Structure 1
Amino acid sequence: MTVASTLKSWYWIHKWTSLVCTLFLLVICLTGLPLVFHEEIEHWLDDGKPYAAVPDGTPPASLDLIVEKARAMYPREVIDFVFMDDDEPQVLVGMAPSYGADPGLSHFVKFDAHTGELLKDGRLASEEKLTFMGIMLALHVDWFAGLPGELFIGFMGLLFVVAIVSGVVLYGPFMKKLPFGAVRASRSRRLKWLDLHNLLGVVTLVWGSVVGLTGVINELATPLFGLWQATEVAEIMAPYKNDAVPARLASVQGATEAAAKALPGNTVISMNFPGNRFATPHHYMVWTKGATPLTSHLFTPVLVDAGTGQVTTVAHPPWYLTALELSRPLHFGDYGGMPLKILWALLDLLTIVVLASGLYLWVARRKAADARIAALARQSDDALRQAREAI
C-alpha cells in the first residue's frame, strides 16, 4: 500500500468517525460543562433547610434513629440505601415502593448528620430527571434511554477516540510544509478554520483522549457491576442462596461500625439494603473508601449479614471495577479542587470549538465541491452551446 493510499484510508476513517459522533459529542460536551461544577450548582439550587451549627467534634447522630424517622415518614415503603456524605454533614435515605419497583418512583429523604433533623423530603427520581441538573446528566449519560442509551453513548465516545487517533496520524503529513501551530489567517476562511481545527485538536489531544476513554469506561458501569455480581458475588452468596430474607434487620449503625472495623483506615460512605440490586437478599452491602488522595476514589464493599450484623466478607472489587472507579474523577476533573475544574471546563470549551469547526469544514468542503461541479457543468453547457452555434 502506498503512502498516498494509506493517508487516504486514514482520512476516510477520520472523516466518518468524526461525522458520526460530532452531534452527540457536542451535546455531551455542552452538558459536561455544568456537570463539572455539579457540586457547586446543586448546593446553590438546594432548597432544603440549612445544616445545624454545631461545635467542632460533635458526633454524628445514630443512623438507626435517622432510618427510623425515614420509615415513619413512609411506612409502606422500603429503604433502598443510606448515604453518609463525607463532604457535607448530611445523610440521605433512599426510599422506594418496593425492591425492583420502577426506579422513577424512588426518592430520598435528607437529614442533618449531626442532629438527625429532617432537612428535605426529595422529589421522585422521575421528577429529579426533569430538573436542570437531571436533564444535563441524562443527556450526558444515556439520553433518557437507560442501558441502551449508555451503551450507545459509550460507542460514540469510542468513535471520538478513533477520530483523535486518526487526526494525529494525519496532522504531520498535512502540515509538514507549515510551521507547527501555524494558522493561515490571510488565506480563505476554510483554510483558516482548518488550521485552527488542527491546532486546537493538538492542544486538547491528551485531555480529549483521557476524557473519551474514561467516558467509555463509565458507560460500561451497569454491565460491569452485573458481571461482578454474577461471578464473584454469586460465589460468595452461594451458601446463602436458600436462606430467607431476615425477618428483622440488624442495626444499621452496628453494621456500619462492623464494616469500619473490618477495614481500618477506610471511611464508610453508604450502604445498600437487602433487596437492593447492588446488595443481596441476605446482606447489607456497606461501601467504604480509603483516606489517601488515590484510595479516596477506590471503593471496597463489605458484606454484613443483615440478620446478625456480623461481617460476612470483604468483597475486594476486581480490576475492571477498580478501573471504573479511577475513571470517574478523571472524567469530570473532580479530584483537584476548583482550579482543576476550571481547567476541565476550558478544555471542554476548546473541544466544542474543535467539533464545531470540524462540522463547518465538512459542510464548507461539500459546498466547494458542489460549486466546482456546478462550474464544470456550466462550462460544459457553454461549450456545447458554442459548438451548436458554430454548426
Structure 2
Amino acid sequence: MAASRRTLVILYALHSWAGIVTGLLLFIVCFSGSVVVFKNEIDLWANPSLRALPHVAQPVGPDLVLNNLAEYYPGSKVESLWYPDGINPAWTAFIKRADNPERMKIAVRADTGEVVGPVDSELGQFFRMIHVFLFFGPRWIVGFLGVAMFFLIVSGFVIHRKILKELFTARWRKSLRVTGSDLHKSLGVWGLVFHLMIAFTGAWLGLAPVFERSYSYVSGGGGARPAAMMMRNNALDRPMQMASVGALLKQAQHDMPGLQPNRIALRDVGKPNASVTFFGQVDDLWFSNARITYQGGRFKEKNDPRQNGFWSQFNGLMEPLHFGDYGGIVLKWLYFLIGLSPALLSLSGTLLWIERRKLRQRNRAGVVGAQHV
C-alpha cells in the first residue's frame, strides 16, 4: 500500500509539472486544432470572391488551368494545383512569380478555367499553421506535445481512479478550487477516448516521419543521393515542353485504378526531368494517402495503400482521424466541440495548480505565524 501511495505521489507530481510546462502550448495547439476542423469553410467564408463561384459536377481539366495561369502570370512557376471539392468551388493554384519570391494562392474557375486572381485571405490556413507547426517550428515539436498530452490523460486517469464513481458529481457548494477540480476531472473522463485518439494521432503525425528518416539513415539509406540528383547535367537546364498533365492523369488512373485525385504537385516544369505527382483517394478506402509520381513523363513511384499492407493503411488513417475530414458537417461540429475540451483542460489544470500553490503558501505562512505566537 505504501509503495502504491508513493507511486501515486510521484505520478501526481509528474502530471502537474508536465501540465505546467506544456500547458500554454497545449492550449494553443488544441484550440487551433478544434478551429482548423473548419479550415476549408473558414477560407471560403473569408473570401467573398470564391463564395460567388458556382459548384460544377465536372470541372475543367488541369491542362486548361495551367495554360490560363501561364498566360495570366507569364514566367511564373506553378507548384501545386488543388481540385475543387464539396466546399471550395474553384481550382486553387500555388504559384511563384518571377518578380515576387513569395508563394501566391490563386483561384481559377472550375466551370470555365478563367483565372479569378489571388485568394484574399488564408485565415483557415493560418490556424492550420499554428496547429501543425506552432507557426514557426518543425512538426515534431507538436508531435512531442501529443506525447505529453497522452501522458497527461493516462496519468490523470490513474491518479483519479475513483472519478468514474463520481462522474455525475460536482461539489458546487464547495470552494471554487474544489468545484474546478471536479469539473476538470469530469471533463477529462467524458472525452477520454476522443482525447486519447487526438493525442496518439497527433504524436504519430509529428514524430513518425522523424523516426522513419532516422531509421533510413541508420540502415544506410540516408547516405545515398537520389537518382534524380545524380542525373543533373547541362541538358536538364534546356527548356523543354512538359508532357500534358491531363495525359499523365489518364496514365495515373490506368496505373492506379480507382484513383480520385485531389491535388497535383509540380516540379521543374519545362525541363526534361519535370516531376508530376497526383495525390488523392482510391476506391475501397475512405482515407486519402494515395500517391503516384511521374518524372520526365515516365512512371517513377507510387504509394497505393491497397497494395502496401497494414502499416501503409494504418499511417493513412492518422490524418483523417486527427482532423475529422472523413465525414460531413455534423462530424466536424462534434470534433470542434469535443476538441475544445483538451484546451479547457490545459487551462483549468494550470489554474488549479496555481490555486493549490497559493493555498500551500498560505498554509505555510499560517504555520510559521503560529510558531511565533
For the aligned pair, the TM-score class normalised by the smaller chain equals 0.7 to 0.9
| Structure 1 counterpart SS, 2:267 | coil
> How far off its partner does 1:139 sit?
2.3
8 A contact 1:224–1:320 mirrored in 2: no
Partner of 2:369: 378
> How far off its partner does 1:188 sit?
2.5
The alignment's C-alpha RMSD in Å is: 3.3
| TM-score using structure 1 length | 0.80
* 1:212 counterpart = 2:202: no
> How far off its partner does 1:229 sit?
10
Say if 1:268 and 1:90 are closer, same or farther in 2 by CA, change over 3 A.
same
Q: Which has the larger radius of gyration?
A: 1
Say if 1:207 and 1:84 are closer, same or farther in 2 by CA, change over 3 A.
same
Say if 1:239 and 1:332 are closer, same or farther in 2 by CA, change over 3 A.
closer
> How far off its partner does 1:348 sit?
2.3
8 A contact 1:81–1:94 mirrored in 2: yes
Q: Which consecutive unaligned segments of at least 5 residues does structure 1 have?
A: 383-391
Partner of 2:129: 138
Letter in 1 for 2:32: T
| Structure 2 counterpart SS, 1:265 | coil
* 1:254 counterpart = 2:247: yes
8 A contact 1:286–1:301 mirrored in 2: yes
8 A contact 1:52–1:115 mirrored in 2: no
* 1:159 counterpart = 2:148: yes
* 1:267 counterpart = 2:284: no
Q: Report the count of equivalent residues.
A: 358
> How far off its partner does 1:376 sit?
1.0
Say if 1:324 and 1:48 are closer, same or farther in 2 by CA, change over 3 A.
farther
Partner of 1:47: 48
> How far off its partner does 1:175 sit?
5.0
| TM-score using structure 2 length | 0.83
Letter in 2 for 1:333: G
| Structure 1 counterpart SS, 2:294 | strand
Partner of 1:114: 111
Letter in 2 for 1:197: H
Letter in 1 for 2:26: L
Tell me how far apart the structure 2 counterparts of residues 237 and 326 of structure 1 sit (CA, whole Å): 28
Tell me how far apart the structure 1 counterparts of residues 137 and 170 of structure 2 sit (CA, whole Å): 43
| Structure 1 counterpart SS, 2:241 | coil
Say if 1:82 and 1:235 are closer, same or farther in 2 by CA, change over 3 A.
farther
8 A contact 1:258–1:311 mirrored in 2: no
Partner of 1:386: none
Say if 1:365 and 1:60 are closer, same or farther in 2 by CA, change over 3 A.
closer
Tell me how far apart the structure 1 counterparts of residues 157 and 259 of structure 2 sit (CA, whole Å): 42
| Structure 2 counterpart SS, 1:4 | helix
Say if 1:154 and 1:90 are closer, same or farther in 2 by CA, change over 3 A.
same
8 A contact 2:281–2:288 mirrored in 1: yes
Say if 1:228 and 1:92 are closer, same or farther in 2 by CA, change over 3 A.
farther
Bigger mean CA deviation after superposition, 67-76 or 83-92: 83-92
Partner of 1:385: none
Deviations 1:142-166 (A, max 9, x none): 232142xx22222222111101111
Say if 1:110 and 1:9 are closer, same or farther in 2 by CA, change over 3 A.
same
Say if 1:224 and 1:61 are closer, same or farther in 2 by CA, change over 3 A.
farther
* 1:12 counterpart = 2:13: yes
Letter in 1 for 2:72: M
Deviations 1:219-266 (A, max 9, x none): 347657967998999999638842654732111111111111111212
Say if 1:250 and 1:44 are closer, same or farther in 2 by CA, change over 3 A.
same
8 A contact 1:79–1:94 mirrored in 2: yes
Letter in 2 for 1:11: Y
> How far off its partner does 1:373 sit?
0.8
Letter in 2 for 1:328: E
Tell me how far apart the structure 2 counterparts of residues 84 and 228 of structure 1 sit (CA, whole Å): 34
Tell me how far apart the structure 1 counterparts of residues 363 and 111 of structure 2 sit (CA, whole Å): 73
8 A contact 1:289–1:298 mirrored in 2: yes
Tell me how far apart the structure 2 counterparts of residues 296 and 60 of structure 1 sit (CA, whole Å): 22
After TM superposition, the structure 1 = structure 2 runs for residues 1-391 of structure 1, keeping only pairs within 5 Å, are 2-48=3-49, 50-52=52-54, 59-87=58-86, 88-97=88-97, 105-122=102-119, 132-147=123-138, 150-172=139-161, 179-220=166-207, 223=210, 238=227, 241-242=230-231, 245=236, 247-275=240-268, 281-292=273-284, 295-306=285-296, 309-316=297-304, 322-382=313-373
Say if 1:225 and 1:121 are closer, same or farther in 2 by CA, change over 3 A.
farther
| Structure 2 counterpart SS, 1:250 | coil
8 A contact 1:333–1:340 mirrored in 2: yes
Say if 1:321 and 1:219 are closer, same or farther in 2 by CA, change over 3 A.
farther
Letter in 2 for 1:380: Q
8 A contact 1:258–1:310 mirrored in 2: no
Tell me how far apart the structure 1 counterparts of residues 13 and 104 of structure 2 sit (CA, whole Å): 48
Tell me how far apart the structure 1 counterparts of residues 275 and 225 of structure 2 sit (CA, whole Å): 11
Say if 1:151 and 1:89 are closer, same or farther in 2 by CA, change over 3 A.
same
Say if 1:66 and 1:321 are closer, same or farther in 2 by CA, change over 3 A.
same
Say if 1:11 and 1:113 are closer, same or farther in 2 by CA, change over 3 A.
same
